[in-house]
Structure 1
């Protein structure tokens, strides 16, 4: 027994010895890797590595010819990375009145100035939230020893909010220019000097207005394939199915289809190439069927935080730029029903994000109209000056349509109107006490389309198909909400066309 215990002790001691030595070797290895690779400053900060890198305003270097040594491409990328991170940590510092992180991106003299402002804001209970949107740096000087760089950052677009405690005092969109001097210290570029310089007045861009005469002829529907609702661009993407559906839509006499781009699924700021390929395929198929596409961006997005703005701008820029010259493009719908986020996200915050996104998309594509798919007529009076046409959804009784439209038109300066969603479920069952039917759906369509034609309003119905499965994210799990939502289509789950389909087909060919 004693011999067995001794052997057990020896085995435990041996395992402990091996484990301790393995841990020591692992630690030495980690230190060696760290010393040879260089530390990432983002990991030193209280910020995560991704936080600094996720700050992605548009930056375009306008001039690289300079006095001194030629600028190496990798050095330029290092300067750009540290310059943008300096903006990010400064924005974080001013939003929290906490100087932590400034030491890594600013030299001693600059830190003194910044900390003095932070102390004043802290004393007054004031915070400043800011993000920059675009930068246009022009290189002026790069020293022969490669340790000093001077550039001007022209026409820096920024949006900021001034807060007093929990109260927002002021918001402003600003365009300023700066002269910047950066020094290479400890392998990183830090800002040594930063001053505002005179900025030329911003040129005023002309706004595209849509012709009322042509716009009233737009008739169509919102589209998802029958088997993949709310997932047009997913793993079950099928070009043949989409082609067949688009041909059906064309044969109905319709000319417009509204599609949706899910923000997260497309890759957020770093849009996935395979998603863009699918989007371009949908455009090609629409052109083959002589259909125009209204593209709704930012589906399932709901952040609106100022620090997330430029990530959404990069998302929009990639998508808009990829198809802006396609002949099937009708225009851009910034977001579906953003007014439903007013209560949870703050009305002012949502409207500010929308207004800036309109401006950004008009930069990326000045040739196509921009709208917002509001959830109701009452919400459609927002941002009317910035939008090219007004679109909203109408699911109320047909008798309410004309009065609500009249109220909208009194506030939109004669801009075209599109009802970008309308419809009624044909569901008849326990969850609606058997009060609806396909006959009711057809009667509804008869009345609504009659109103649209009388009022010269374009329209898009919801939707082509009944759906078997509705994602929980869309309507939740409550059966009295899910059951009706499955039956808004013009074509049933068995492939049979409903009476509303035939009626819609007849009306659209008038």
Structure 2
């Protein structure tokens, strides 16, 4: 019996050892026969994630030498833009990480020297390119060398010395670029910049007079700040938009969350829901102000190309919709001045305003400032000036008149205002529903007297407020829940009769 057990144990051990050896040899063989995965050796992993996608418009492909094929052109474009991204990132961080992956040994030398000099001098440069117009000049017969000319390259740069802002430039240049094929990737061997001149942004504005004068900021009651999520329901939109139409309102302001919509790669189902919302609005004669970039707050120069791709997809898809009223670039961006820097925020807004206008020159563009004091910023770039007002309603008439004096040639819209009716544990001295009614009654009197276009906040009270909106503090959350004209049980509050100057129903 012992002999049989011993023999069995030896056989099993032998089989396990053989299996381990064979497995090891198989893994080694597989490894040796697998080419180097560039994404696995790159620190940046930009092969997997879109991080730099400026507008690229290729010119003629009737080049000298070898004919250019679509696959090579696509690979060349990807490597070229990745090289730009790595260079911009190197100048911003004064790090040489990733440079060797996109530049040949000769080209790296100049980049390394520049990075070393900037680091020693305390210089950092935040930069991006927004447009490229390349054309192939030569493609060698052996498929190892390409020369291109990239004209009208739009560049934005911001320089800091010891973290102090010193310079901002917008330029347009032409680049001559020579690529060598190394390890299956196109690396830059030479890049020569020429014909540089200041870039003059086209800041045309349109005179807008026929804007809807009576509107409201809208979220469905069950899904505040998540209009286009899983709870999206066209029947809810039908019901709500019918209420708004019957109340005499003419427009709604809605919000597109940047990350939720997919950032640079817009989710098709989200865009479809946004378009369906406009379809529903059109059935009830409601015009729609679309507020872009909700919950976005980075403003990084290296994000600009991603932000533009996001805006381009949405604006180009909806610019011809009959329900579209206009574009609000960003909700209350001045609240980010302290944390992100006013100069950074305003530069981003300036860029994005011009970009949206270039895609849709027909509809007005505005910025939803959180107060009247900030509304004069970029007043010459926007088509309509808009601001929010949550201060003493008795001062509104004076504030609005002051803005009209400051900006006499532009329509001015009060795109958010309201009063919470929360009065409870977390705010025992808050306003009652009766006080809210008196507030809106007075507001409508002021609007009628001064012909002020308005968009109130908001149709419904909400049972829950996302933490991202006002934070975790209970007195802020509970206050935010009670701005509506209809309570969370579906009953119209006393203020509803003043949702508009000609409401039909106050029941």
- 1:8 and 1:467 map into 2 onto residues whose CA distance is 70
CA contact (8 A) 2:448 2:501 kept: no
Normalising by structure 2, report the TM-score: 0.92
How far residue 50 of structure 1 moved from its aligned partner, in angstroms, is 5.5
Question: For 1:451, which of 442, 446, 449 is the aligned residue?
Answer: 446
CA contact (8 A) 2:203 2:381 kept: no
Instruction: Map Cα deviations across residues 5-40 of structure 1 (whole Å, 9 max, x no partner).
Output: 9999997897677456535533543443x32xx522
Deviates more, 1:11-20 or 1:176-185: 11-20
Partner SS for 2:229: coil
How far residue 120 of structure 1 moved from its aligned partner, in angstroms, is 2.6
CA contact (8 A) 1:208 1:368 kept: no
Question: For 2:266, which of 271, 280, 295 is the aligned residue?
Answer: 271
Deviates more, 1:217-226 or 1:192-201: 192-201
How far residue 43 of structure 1 moved from its aligned partner, in angstroms, is 3.5
Question: For 1:387, which of 382, 401, 406 is the aligned residue?
Answer: 382
- 1:203 and 1:96 map into 2 onto residues whose CA distance is 28
- 1:229 and 1:486 map into 2 onto residues whose CA distance is 10
CA contact (8 A) 1:331 1:368 kept: yes
Match of 1:437 in 2: 432
Normalising by structure 1, report the TM-score: 0.91
CA contact (8 A) 2:216 2:456 kept: yes
CA contact (8 A) 1:420 1:461 kept: yes
Match of 2:117 in 1: 120
How far residue 434 of structure 1 moved from its aligned partner, in angstroms, is 5.5
CA RMSD of aligned residues (A): 2.6
Deviates more, 1:195-204 or 1:494-503: 195-204
Deviates more, 1:390-399 or 1:496-505: 496-505
Match of 2:73 in 1: 76
How far residue 48 of structure 1 moved from its aligned partner, in angstroms, is 2.6
Question: For 1:39, which of 37, 40, 46 is the aligned residue?
Answer: 37
How far residue 114 of structure 1 moved from its aligned partner, in angstroms, is 2.3
- 2:164 and 2:500 map into 1 onto residues whose CA distance is 53
Instruction: Map Cα deviations across residues 204-243 of structure 1 (whole Å, 9 max, x no partner).
Output: 636232334x23x421100111111111100111011112
How far residue 98 of structure 1 moved from its aligned partner, in angstroms, is 2.7
Instruction: Map Cα deviations across residues 104-159 of structure 1 (whole Å, 9 max, x no partner).
Output: 22223322222232233233222222111111112222222222222211111121
Partner SS for 2:106: helix
- 1:85 and 1:410 map into 2 onto residues whose CA distance is 49
Deviates more, 1:175-184 or 1:102-111: 102-111
Say if 2:58 is the partner of 1:61: yes
Specify whether residues 489 and 75 from structure 1 end up closer, same or farther in structure 2 by C-alpha distance, changes over 3 A only: same
Partner SS for 1:321: helix
Specify whether residues 477 and 92 from structure 1 end up closer, same or farther in structure 2 by C-alpha distance, changes over 3 A only: closer
Task: Show structure 1 runs of 4+ deviating over 6 A.
Answer: 2-14
- 1:52 and 1:94 map into 2 onto residues whose CA distance is 21
Q: How many residues align?
A: 503
Unaligned residue ranges in structure 1 (runs of 5+): none
5 Å matches for 1:157-236? 157-198=154-195, 205=202, 207-212=204-209, 214-215=210-211, 217-236=212-231
CA contact (8 A) 2:202 2:354 kept: no
How far residue 298 of structure 1 moved from its aligned partner, in angstroms, is 0.7
Deviates more, 1:236-245 or 1:398-407: 398-407
Partner SS for 1:326: coil
